[in-house]
Amino acid sequence: MSFQIASMLLASALLSVSAGAAADAKRGEALYAARCGACHSVADNGAGPRHRGVFGCHAATQPGFDYSDALKHSDIVWDEKSLDRWLSDPSAFVPGNMMVVRLANEPGDRADLIAFLQSVSQGERSCKPGATMPAAAITTHP
Ligand code: HEC
């Protein structure tokens, strides 16, 4: 009996591992450091805006970053789909924006980068009032 339960638990653990294997946030973190780190960091604005809290928010809403008008007026909410289009070709998605580099041409790389961006945005509140963010994820800003 307990063996049966144990093997059921093991089977479901294996299932959830393989379900998550499509996008690998750990690998995304390494890609992020290598390809995005010259301009971005999770915690601080640099040449590009900080990325904590980007996933799930409207574009161009990180505090203290001087965004292009193109991105400010884009009305994009960052999710898997919009980030995938952005990373494929930022200039095609938002003509006139300031991020002109294409550094994630492989779909697998984009999926891993997006999983990483999602993982660092959990529980963060940095969207403008009215921006899309699940109420449960809203916490007091540090
Ligand atoms: C050469 C510098 C540079 C590099 C490298 C770069 N970015 Fe950017 N990124 C920017 C700039 C500048 C902006 C702001 C664009 C604007 O305001 O038009 C931006 C904006 C963004 C945004 C939108 C943020 C927001 O608050 O709406 C995301 C998401 C993003 N970058 C992801 C990435 C990822 C992921 C990588 C690595 C694959 C990357 N960037 C590499 C300069 C860069």
CATH of the domain at 107: 1.10.760.10
Between helix 80-88 and helix 107-119 the angle, nearest 10°, is 130
Name every residue whose Cβ is closer than 8 Å to that of residue 117 and which is 6 or more positions away in sequence. 28, 32, 51, 54, 55, 78, 83
Best mutation site among 27, 35, 40 for ligand 1, i.e. most ligand atoms within 8 A of its Cβ?
Answer: 40
Q: Is the residue at 47 inside a domain?
A: yes
Q: How many CB atoms lie within 10 A of CB 125?
A: 15
What is the Cα–Cα distance from 77 to 53, expressed in whole angstroms?
Answer: 12
Mean pLDDT, rounded, for 65-86: 96
Question: Which of 14-18, 64-68, 110-114, 115-119 is least confident?
Answer: 14-18
Q: Is the residue at 75 inside a domain?
A: yes
Q: Is the residue at 130 inside a domain?
A: yes
pLDDT tens digits along 83-109: 999 999 999 999 999 999 999 999 999
Domain hosting 77: range is 24-134
Ligand 1 centroid to 41 CA: how many Å?
Answer: 10
pLDDT-based confidence at 72, cuts 50/70/90?
A: very high
Q: Is the residue at 7 inside a domain?
A: no
Beta bridge pairs of residue 77: 58
Report how many domains make up the chain. Answer: 1
Q: Is the residue at 41 inside a domain?
A: yes
The pTM of the full predicted model, rounded to 2 decimals, is 0.81
Ligand 1 centroid to 17 CA: how many Å?
Answer: 30
* pLDDT exceeds cutoff 70 at 115: yes
Residue type, position 138, single letter:
I
Mean pLDDT, rounded, for 51-73: 93
Better pLDDT: 124 or 117:
117
